[in-house]
Homo-oligomer: A and B are copies of this chain.
Amino acid sequence: MAKVKKQPRPKALPPKGFRDYFGVDVAERKEMLDAIAAVYHRYGFEGLESSAVETVEALGKFLPDVDRPNEGVFAWQEDEKDWLALRYDLTAPLARVYAQYRNDLPTPYRRFAMGPVWRNEKPGPGRFRQFYQCDADTVGSASMAADAEICAMLADTLETVGIPRGDYIIRVNNRKVLNGILDGLMVDDEKTRSLPRTFKDSLDLPLSDREFVETEAILRTIDKFDKVGADGVFELLTKGRKDQSGAFIEGVGLSEKDASRVIQFMESRGRDNAETLTNLRELMGSSYLDAHEEQGVYHAGIEGLRELQDIADLLAAQGYGPDRIVIDPSVVRGLGYYTGPVYEAELTFEITNEKGRKQQFGSVAGGGRYDDLVKRFTGQSVPATGVSIGVDRLLAALRAKGRVGGKSLGPVVVTVMDRDRMADYQTMVADLRNAGIRTEVYLGNPKNFGNQLKYADKRNSPVAVIEGGDEYARGMVQIKDLILGAKIAENATLEEWKSLPSQYEVPRGDLVAKVREIIALHEAG
């Protein structure tokens, strides 16, 4: 027979930028998601689980921070047919689902969704290409009450999972106000270049369209306010800027006057919401807006201000003060599809970053109104607003605050002293399990008793149960409190082990009661 060529062994690694979650991490994330889902559900939102795979055309191309529009997603072509892709968020699939089922779904449609999304980005430290999102959206309501509700629900959610009031702030802005500012620039400068288009106007345009990219570039630049500050944004809006590595980032090309105006907009937050709204109005030119209002001419800035006022009033009436939810013009959100209110939840407590410096934890959730996403499919405008929680970041925040990640006990381990009596050991296991106690029998090679104890140690087991031939003959079992005895566990012989004060011999009939007693002790302490 011909010698068969051996194939090389596959590498035991996930693809770059992907990772696995084990045991406690899986359980803690689930617990947090369950708590979030409970809040969403109480608010009347219904679960939706859409397929992870969509057609590329249905997803559209709205990712921020992606230079070429065909990047950012994992996509492949079906045999000379459609291009398919993994969803990059939960909003684009919602728009597709709503367009598809709009005659069957209630209007407004409140839905929540949670699950992984995928981004085909260059992986890096702490940057993963699969991560969880947890979204809530209201489709089919143009009312600012929908936006206010999402913000209030976000506050409730953060408090429910364990972020105390005072440790977070939800900041609200409105894209229309920004559009009003940009419009103002035009009027002042009497430029001949056409107005930067809003996303709304550009939906039917190819993405390469210069003007759309320009507005996008402005949005993305001012979204970096938190990172590079006012001066940095100013440089990026005008001539460009060297970043920390020395690389030159090209500027958007606004005049210095225009750029100053944008910076002023972002810094116009006042001592309270009323002052902020006044500042914004003045920045756009009060008399200029007054003239619009007198003549009944539409101006995005006027509508944006009115919407922010509505949201502020609704939230104030419901008791969500500016200590929890506040109007702040520095919030923009990078995504291109927002058309009205945008909001962002930031955690305000400090953590120590990897370089040992203290810094604010930062953003854990964001969202806004996107009135034109469904229109892509149907041609009819369908108002919609919603929020997305960055699940991994929120979980990291809860860990930083010590709200999750307490030591969790592993299962009781019934050791195997006599391989032929496996059925007896399994019966003990069954007795303990039936009493609701998480238990397992040791299933490795039982020859080396030390390995069994090491195993129990690795599982963080609170209790090991031992029954040798001697105990069996006397109808007894040894019950070892592993938490008390943990420190000397690694090198103990069976005999030393048995002599420890943390080990008890009880009649077989008392097994369940004694184990329960030990576990209760440790759970309390």
Contacts and interface: CB of A to CB of B under 8 A. Distances in A.
Nearest to A41: B438
A122 B438 CA distance: 42
Interface residues of A, number: 103
A142 to B, nearest CB: 8
A78 to B, nearest CB: 8
Interface stretch (A262-270, A286-294, A310-318): A310-318
A439 interface: yes
Interface in A423-471: 423-424, 426-427, 430, 433, 436-441, 443-445, 455, 458-459
A430 B318 contact: yes
B423 A15 contact: no
A378 interface: yes
A32 to B, nearest CB: 14
Interface pairs A-B: 5 shortest CB-CB: A44-B440, A317-B423, A26-B47, A12-B99, A18-B51
A53 B108 contact: no
A48 B20 contact: yes
A186 interface: no
Interface string A180-202: 00000000000000100000000
Interface string A4-28: 1111011111110011111100110
A361 interface: no
Contacts of A255: none
Nearest to A29: B49
A317 B427 contact: yes
Contact of A107 (B142, B314, B413, B444): B444
B422 A96 contact: no
Given A143-B443, A149-B443, A204-B4, A10 B52 contact: no
B459 A106 contact: yes
Nearest to A10: B57
A11 B53 contact: no
Contacts of A96: 10, 12-14
Nearest to A106: B458
A140 B205 CA distance: 57
Interface in A198-217: 204-206, 209
A96 B47 CA distance: 32
12 contacts: A9-B377, A10-B376, A14-B51, A18-B51, A18-B53, A20-B48, A22-B47, A22-B48, A23-B46, A107-B444, A317-B424, A318-B426
A60 interface: yes
A378 B318 contact: no
